[in-house]
Amino acid sequence: MISILMATYNGEKYVKEQIESLLSQTFCNFTLWVSDDVSTDGTWDILQAYARQYPQKIKISRREKNSGDSRYNFLGLMVKIKDNYVMLCDQDDVWLPDKIEKTLAKMKAMEGQYPDMPILVRTDAKIVDQGLRVVYPSYKQVMHSNFDRTDFCQVLIQNTFAGCTAMYNRRLADLIDQKPDYCVMHDWWLELIAAAFGKLGYIDEPTMLYRQHGINVIGVKDVRKLSYKLSCLIHNDRIKKAIRNTYDQAKNFLQIYEDRMTETQKDIARRYCEIPAKGKLARWRTIWALGAYKNGLSRNIAYFLFV
């Protein structure tokens, strides 16, 4: 009924705790699918032990060679594994006991409201340190995210959630039929598909502990702090690179899904991809015309400065 996808790489320090949190869920009708990215520590041994202990519930595989990035490890699973409902799971977090139960209830409610539609449900998360002590009570607050920003043009330029909070249904899973040559992150790619072809919903409460330990693939920063904003302005090469990446992602999305997109969506994607070839004023005019803004004043100031 539910497939949970976990991508692992050198996660021996935390993966046991995460798997135990899955096994302790109030809703237990799921299969955990793990793809190990050729770990060089004890991760694979840990996974093998769990697979032997829970052969019907935990299925593991090991890639022939390292993918080079967790997003492509995840995307490999997302293309391969289809189920009524699919959830994404990082190796180093801890799920609260009712995460699956609550997310599934929201999903069922949305499916009742939007029958036969691709649906993505997201939740909030508590940000914790290595020892699971709460650093920030809400990912949504610390990242100044707006889960109501679900228009295709908005999602083109900004991802709003952490993939480890996601559940999507079979209608959406079936749309993930190939890996893109490039995407910024697998969860952003998932959100783009949902925004283009389905509906997005969220649970405005934490369902998991999102662990920060210094070597996360994607770390959480308090974007509300002045120090963070000044750092972004000083090191603006990162902002420029992040903006450029969105054009490459949009091009790949258009290449894969053009025949399924509406004429309006295709026009938005094409005009967005053309922005780098324009002068500064023309770029601003295009962004304004598309309504392709970010969430928050400071983000938009930086966006318009460095676009």
* CATH code of 99's domain: 3.90.550.10
Least confident of 62-76, 167-181, 199-213, 222-236: 222-236
pLDDT exceeds 60 at position 280: yes
- Whether residue 122 is contained in a domain is answered as yes
Looking at 86-90, 100-104, 150-154, which range is the least confident one? Answer: 150-154
Do residues 244 and 136 both lie within one domain?
A: no
- Whether the predicted pLDDT of 223 surpasses 60: no
267's CB contacts (< 8 A; 6+ apart) are: none
Owning domain of residue 280? 226-306
Handedness of CA 164, 166, 169, 172 (dihedral sign): negative
Residue 251 lies in a domain: yes
Looking at the structure, tell me whether residues 13 and 148 fall in a common domain: yes
The domain tally of the chain equals: 2
The answer to whether residue 216 sits within a structural domain is: no
Residues above pLDDT 90, as percent of the chain = 78
163 and 98 housed in the same domain: yes
**Interacting residues of 203 by C-beta distance below 8 A, sequence separation 6+:** 102, 103, 106, 121, 122, 123, 124
Q: Which of 211, 238, 271 is the last residue of a domain?
A: 211
Which among 128, 283, 285 has a CA at the least distance from the CA of 210? Answer: 128
Q: Return the pLDDT at 232.
A: 55
| pLDDT of 216 | 46
Do 153 and 271 belong to one domain? no
Q: How far is CA 296 from the centre of its chain?
A: 20
- pLDDT tens digits, residue range 40-74? 999 999 999 999 999 999 999 999 999 888 999 99
> Are residues 206 and 233 located together in one domain of the fold?
no
Whether 290 has a pLDDT exceeding 50, the answer reads yes
Least confident of 38-47, 141-150, 258-267, 293-302: 293-302
Residue with tokens 């649970």: 203
Are 134 and 236 in the same domain?
no
Position 46 scores a pLDDT of 98
29-43, 120-134, 189-203, 276-290: range with lowest mean pLDDT: 276-290
User: Quick check: is 219 in a domain?
Assistant: no
Same structural domain for residues 114 and 70?
yes
- Shared domain for 251 and 115, answered yes or no, is no
Q: What is the radius of gyration, based on Cα positions, of the chain? A: 19
**301 and 202, same domain (yes or no):** no
**Least reliable range by pLDDT among 78-82, 94-98, 171-175, 281-285:** 281-285
Identify whether residues 99 and 132 lie together within a single domain.
yes
Out of 132-136, 146-150, 181-185, 214-218, least confident range:
214-218
pLDDT score of 221 more than 70: no
Mean pLDDT value of segment 2-12: 98
Shared-domain flag, residues 118 and 184:
yes
> Is 147 part of a structural domain of the chain?
yes
